[in-house]
Structure 1
Amino acid sequence: MQICWSIRGSQFIGGAGQRALPIRILTVGKKRLPGVQLLVDEYIAKLKSYCHVDDVQIRSNPKNARNAMAQVDDEDIAVINLITSNDWVVILDERGLDLSSEHLAELLGDAGNTAASRLSFCIGGPYGHGQRVRKRANVSIKLSSMVLNHQIALVVLMEQIYRR
């Protein structure tokens, strides 16, 4: 099973001396449904022996619920503050590249050819990503032609990481 990407080259983990590129998933939104959290925890447990997966939840700011631009700006700043200069950033966006599972695995494998020390996936809130996150992203992908709730997108993303 091909699961995590190495820092050197686009080789998948499994060979001697390779170190897994850690994965961080930043999700903006409301508190997760218990069933979604159970699935996320299950995927993290499955991936644990292959690579480290850090699941970070960023709560939407309820104060800005009536002002979408202010909410996106607050969420944008919160996400940017959690991304380092050494992260290889993938944003999930309805206007992103439409990739098959195999092409996603290739794309993420290519991240190992960079100086990145971590793969960071960003799942935006109800109004999407702000300009700072969009500019910082190395690539933008979509998981479906349909718009997905951030909780569903998270589960689909975790499945794709696990499968590759």
Structure 2
Amino acid sequence: MKLQLWTIGKTNDAYLKEGCAQYTKRLPHYLPFEYLEIPEPKNTKLSSDVLKKEEEKLIFDRLQDSDQLILLDEKGNEFTSTEFGQYIQKKMNSVAGNLIFLIGGPYGFSDAVYKRANGKIALSKMTFSHQMVRLFALEQLYRACTIIKGEKYHH
């Protein structure tokens, strides 16, 4: 099993790039990990529904049938960091394919992506930009790995 974090689009903010790079470098110490920035559709003048359909194609082109797809979504289940570590551990023990966490574009996900998803999680009841969420998600994935290993990072 490989743990993956996919995002729609990339960030141009240096501080976010630097933070993401730090956690992307740390995570493979614990398990196979990949961070994938899926390029945004080229035509940004599309309506939100058409844009979500275009993003759907980009996601489904990369997704395998055996992959577990977990959406980062404001209506998803919320966890404490310890609970999230337990969630990751259970998935690691039961998933045959890859465990993919997906951060959508600014308008969220298409209905087909919601239908294909194996679960949804929320990082908070607050709304964050899809740019910042990638850093928060990477940090929480890293924290979950340190919790699973019983390391000091999480108090």
Secondary structure in structure 2 of the residue aligned to 1:146: coil
Which runs of 5 or more structure 1 residues have no equivalent in the other structure?
A: 1-20
Distance 1:109 1:56 in 2: 22
Q: Which residue of 2 aligns with 1:32?
A: 12
Question: Percent of aligned positions with the same letter in both sequences?
Answer: 27
Specify whether residues 147 and 65 from structure 1 end up closer, same or farther in structure 2 by C-alpha distance, changes over 3 A only. farther
Partner AA of 1:56 in structure 2: L
Q: TM-score, normalised by structure 2?
A: 0.84
Distance 2:42 2:127 in 1: 22
**1:121 and 2:101 correspond:** yes
**1:87 and 2:64 correspond:** no
- What root-mean-square deviation, in Å, do the aligned CA atoms of Structure 1 and Structure 2 show? 1.6
Q: Is the 8 A contact 1:98 1:141 kept in 2?
A: yes
Q: Please, which of 39, 59, 70 is the counterpart of residue 50 of structure 2?
A: 70
Which runs of 5 or more structure 2 residues have no equivalent in the other structure?
A: 145-155
Deviations 1:105-128 (A, max 9, x none): 222222134342211010000100
Q: Is the 8 A contact 2:53 2:110 kept in 1?
A: yes
**1:155 and 2:119 correspond:** no
Distance 1:39 1:160 in 2: 12
Q: Is the 8 A contact 2:85 2:143 kept in 1?
A: no
Partner AA of 1:110 in structure 2: K
Q: Is the 8 A contact 1:58 1:78 kept in 2?
A: yes
Q: Which residue of 1 aligns with 2:23?
A: 43
Q: Displacement of 1:60 after TM fit? A: 2.4
**1:131 and 2:87 correspond:** no
Further displaced range: 101-110 or 118-127:
101-110
Q: TM-score, normalised by structure 1?
A: 0.80
Distance 1:92 1:146 in 2: 13
Q: Which residue of 1 aligns with 2:37?
A: 57
Q: Please, which of 76, 80, 84 is the counterpart of residue 104 of structure 1?
A: 84
Q: Is the 8 A contact 1:26 1:122 kept in 2?
A: yes
Specify whether residues 44 and 30 from structure 1 end up closer, same or farther in structure 2 by C-alpha distance, changes over 3 A only. closer
